[in-house]
């Protein structure tokens, strides 16, 4: 019983952490990427569901982004993880985080 | 129970058992009716539920089928119209399922919604990747025309192109390796980047496509399976529910039948027990009442006889009383006249007494005068006695002188013979005077004695007169008082006469009332006979012996004789 309670507490904590992390990652994505990739912005509108998760990973691994994003590695990692988590082949593809 | 029996009337005791049984049977009937209505409702509910279940199941099956068709169509054929149709079908079925609060089915629908929404994004991604793939292919063609790796690139493109139309998981790793080999050997530049882009587009497309395929084959299938499982479960539950309702209905019918039978038996048993209990108690009470009525009747019969006798006696007494009162009234009349006469006589006597009193006073005064006269006579007698004494002395002296003269005459001889005769004569005369004086003295003494006696008698008479005067005064006052008393007596007799007249009237009324009472007593006797008949009926009803109760004529006569009533009285 005690073990179950501990597991439930940890599970609830992790879920809450994941939700917070998702909210933070989405904010980071909107902040870092959405500043240019937006309707009428400097670049075309981009959403995580535009590509598959592995494609996003390889894209940034190869350093194929044409301009300097002005983002540190930690934030970039978080943004990439967010993109992969909500990519077209993910369970929860996000296709309209940035309105088209 | 005893308290309840004490409080219950005879009517209640007689009517309670059948009334209770009737109420009990009525309750049972109502309960049966209620059960019948309930069973009717249950059967109706069962039919309605069956129809509703059938309708619901049909509707749900249709909805699931439509949802499956719409969603499957969307998954196999992308398009906004199909997406909208699938979403509409999902909304409809979700709304329907939410009404039944079927969480598992709702979860399945929400999973389908998630899959549909994800599929939309995936379809969009695939469309985009398709366009990008064509662009990348064009770029790659143009760049690889001058490349040494052109054949490898073309060969890889052919494999990729075939894979794009029908991606297979087992080919992915080989193609990945080929892309890895190709790009690793290539120098950095547009061609390498173009190959990498092409690789990425292919990889992305196939990944999304496979994911979409996975959703279709697994997620969609699982969700639909869940829905069908839910539908099957719902059908099973409906069947179970219908079976339960049927079982419950049969159980209710059985219970109702058992209850009706049990309640009827209880009602009959209760009725019998109550009838026996109350009947037994009623018999005891009725026996007691009958005995009491019998005793009371005997007493009433005796009392009625007594009343008859008493009323007769009263009637006779009243007549006698009336006659006596009439006699008293006539006596009072006479008494009144006598009283009046006595009063008048008393008045006359009073007057006479006054006259007598004055006469007695006159007599007294006369007696006083008589006494005075007698005193005067006594004094006159004393004076006469003194005179006679003197005459005696004179006669003695005369005798002495005559004697002397005789002596002298004797001495004188002849010359004195004449003288001696005279002296003799004088002596005779003196003797005669002395004798007369003695006789007179004797007479006077006798007269004095008699006067003295008369004086004493006069004194006594005077005293008697004085006493008579005093007594006549007293008698006068007494006669006055008698006169006043006679007047008052006359007035009292008048009052008594008036009262007697009133009493006479009352006695007349009493006589009339006593006659009425006698008539009522006769009626009462007749009623007691009727009561005897009723008691006889009641006793016969109770199964008792009536011989002790019914007062026969001889019994009545005995009773009347016992209470002193005379049948031969006129």
Residue with tokens 């599970």: A11
Residues of chain A contacting residue B188, judged by C-beta atoms under 8 Å apart = none
Asked whether the CA dihedral A66, A69, A73, A77 is positive or negative, the reply is: negative
Tell me: pLDDT of A93 over 60. yes
- For residue B185, CA distances in Å to B148, B152, B182, B214, B523 come to 11, 11, 5, 34, 154
pLDDT per position as a tens digit, B43-54: 777 777 777 777
Residues of chain B contacting residue A95, judged by C-beta atoms under 8 Å apart = 120-121, 124-125
Residues of chain A contacting residue B114, judged by C-beta atoms under 8 Å apart = 91-92
Q: Cβ of A55 and B128 within 8 Å? A: no
Please name which of B177, B175, B178 lies closest in space to residue B167, comparing C-alpha atoms: B175
pLDDT-derived band at A37, boundaries 50, 70, 90: very high
- For residue A56, CA distances in Å to B29, B169, B203, B320, B395 come to 82, 20, 11, 153, 232
Q: Cβ of B204 and A88 within 8 Å? A: yes
Give the chain B residue nearest A58 (alpha carbons). Answer: B200
**Which ipTM did the prediction report?**
0.78
Please tell me the distance in Å from B210's CA to the nearest CA on chain A: 8
Tell me: pLDDT of A9 over 70. no
What's the pLDDT at B8? Answer: 67
What's the pLDDT at B561? Answer: 55
Q: What stretches in chain B show pLDDT beneath 70?
A: 1-14, 542-570
Residue A69 phi, psi dihedral angles, 5° rounding: -85, -10
Task: List the structure tokens of B447.
Answer: 């007269």
Please name which of A43, A46, A56, A55 lies closest in space to residue A82, comparing C-alpha atoms: A56
What's the pLDDT at A18? Answer: 47
Q: Cβ of B122 and A91 within 8 Å? A: no
Q: Cβ of A89 and B210 within 8 Å? A: yes
Q: Cβ of A49 and B121 within 8 Å? A: yes
pLDDT per position as a tens digit, B332-366: 778 777 777 777 787 787 788 778 778 877 877 88
Task: List the structure tokens of B181.
Answer: 């080999």
What's the pLDDT at A78? Answer: 93
Kindly report the pTM of this predicted structure: 0.47
What's the pLDDT at A7? Answer: 52
Tell me: pLDDT of A83 over 90. yes
d(CA B195, CA B179): 8
CB B125 within 8 A of CB B78: no
Choosing among A47, A51, A83, A90, which should be mutated to test the B contact, i.e. which has the most B CBs within 10 A? A51
Rounded (to 5) percent helix, strand, coil in chain B: 95, 0, 5
Strand-pairing partners, residue A37, are: A43
d(CA B70, CA B227): 14
Average pLDDT for residues A57-64, to the nearest whole number?
A: 88
What's the pLDDT at A85? Answer: 94
What is chain A's mean pLDDT, rounded? 81
**A:B CB pairs within 8 Å:** 62
What's the pLDDT at B10? Answer: 64
Q: CA B510, B511, B514 angle in degrees (round to 5)?
A: 80
What's the pLDDT at B552? Answer: 52
């Amino acid at each position: 019983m005690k073990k179950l309670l501990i597991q439930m507490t940890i599970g609830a904590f992790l879920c809450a952490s994941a939700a917070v992390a998702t909210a933070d990652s989405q904010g980071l994505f909107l902040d870092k990427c959405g500043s240019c990739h937006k309707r009428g912005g400097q670049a075309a509108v981009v959403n995580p569901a535009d590509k598959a998760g592995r494609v996003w990973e390889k894209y940034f691994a190869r350093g194929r982004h044409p301009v300097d994003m002005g983002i540190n590695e930690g934030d970039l990692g978080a943004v990439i993880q967010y993109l992969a988590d909500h990519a077209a082949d993910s369970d929860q593809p996000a296709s309209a985080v940035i309105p088209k | 129970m005893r308290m309840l029996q004490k409080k219950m009337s005879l009517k209640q005791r007689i009517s309670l058992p059948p009334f209770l049984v009737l109420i009990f049977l009525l309750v049972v009937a109502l309960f049966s009716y209620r059960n019948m209505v309930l069973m009717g409702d249950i059967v109706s509910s069962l039919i309605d539920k069956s129809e509703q279940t059938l309708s619901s199941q049909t509707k749900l099956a249709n909805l699931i089928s439509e949802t499956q068709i719409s969603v499957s169509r969307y998954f196999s054929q992308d398009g906004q119209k199909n997406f909208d149709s699938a979403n509409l079908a999902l909304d409809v079925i979700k709304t329907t399922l939410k009404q039944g609060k079927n969480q598992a089915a709702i979860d399945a629908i929400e999973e389908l919604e998630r899959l549909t929404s994800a599929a939309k994004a995936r379809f969009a991604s695939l469309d985009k990747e398709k366009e990008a793939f064509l662009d990348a292919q064009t770029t790659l063609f143009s760049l690889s025309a001058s490349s040494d790796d052109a054949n490898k690139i073309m060969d890889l493109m052919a494999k990729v192109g075939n894979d794009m139309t029908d991606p297979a998981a087992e080919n992915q790793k080989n193609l990945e390796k080929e892309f890895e080999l190709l790009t690793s050997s290539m120098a950095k530049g547009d061609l390498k980047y173009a190959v990498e882009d092409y690789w990425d587009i292919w990889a992305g497309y196939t990944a999304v496509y496979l994911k979409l395929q996975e959703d279709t084959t697994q997620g969609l299938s699982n969700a639909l399976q869940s829905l069908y499982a839910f539908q099957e479960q719902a059908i099973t539950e409906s069947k179970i529910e219908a079976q339960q309702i049927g079982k419950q209905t049969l159980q209710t019918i059985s219970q109702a039948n058992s209850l009706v039978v049990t309640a009827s038996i209880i009602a009959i048993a209760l009725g019998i027990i109550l009838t026996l209990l109350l009947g037994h108690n009623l018999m005891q009470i009725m026996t007691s009442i009958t005995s009491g009525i019998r005793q009371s009747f005997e007493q009433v019969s005796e009392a009625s006889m007594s009343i008859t006798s008493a009323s007769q006696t009263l009637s006779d007494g009243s007549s006698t009383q009336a006659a006596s009162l009439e006699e008293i009234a006539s006596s009072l009349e006479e008494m009144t006249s006598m009283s009046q006469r006595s009063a008048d006589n008393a008045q006359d006597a009073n007057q006479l007494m006054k006259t007598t009193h004055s006469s007695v006073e006159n007599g007294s005064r006369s007696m006083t005068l008589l006494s005075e006269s007698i005193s005067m006579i006594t004094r006159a007698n004393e004076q006469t006695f003194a005179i006679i004494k003197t005459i005696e002395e004179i006669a003695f002296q005369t005798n002495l002188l005559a004697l002397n003269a005789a002596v002298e005459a004797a001495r004188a001889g002849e010359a004195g013979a004449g003288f001696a005769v005279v002296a003799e004569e004088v002596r005779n005369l003196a003797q005669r005077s002395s004798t007369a004086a003695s006789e007179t003295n004797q007479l006077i003494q006798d007269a004095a004695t008699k006067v003295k006696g008369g004086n004493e008698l006069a004194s006594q008479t005077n005293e008697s007169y004085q006493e008579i005067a005093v007594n006549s005064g007293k008698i006068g006052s007494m006669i006055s008082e008698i006169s006043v008393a006679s007047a008052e007596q006359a007035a009292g007799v008048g009052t008594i006469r008036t009262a007697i007249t009133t009493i006479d009237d009352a006695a007349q009324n009493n006589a009339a009332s006593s006659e009425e009472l006698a008539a009522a007593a006769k009626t009462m006797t007749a009623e007691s006979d009727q009561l005897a008949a009723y008691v006889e009926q009641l006793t016969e009803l109770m199964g008792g012996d009536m011989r002790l109760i019914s007062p026969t004529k001889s019994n009545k006569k005995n009773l009347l004789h016992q209470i002193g009533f005379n049948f031969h009285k006129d």
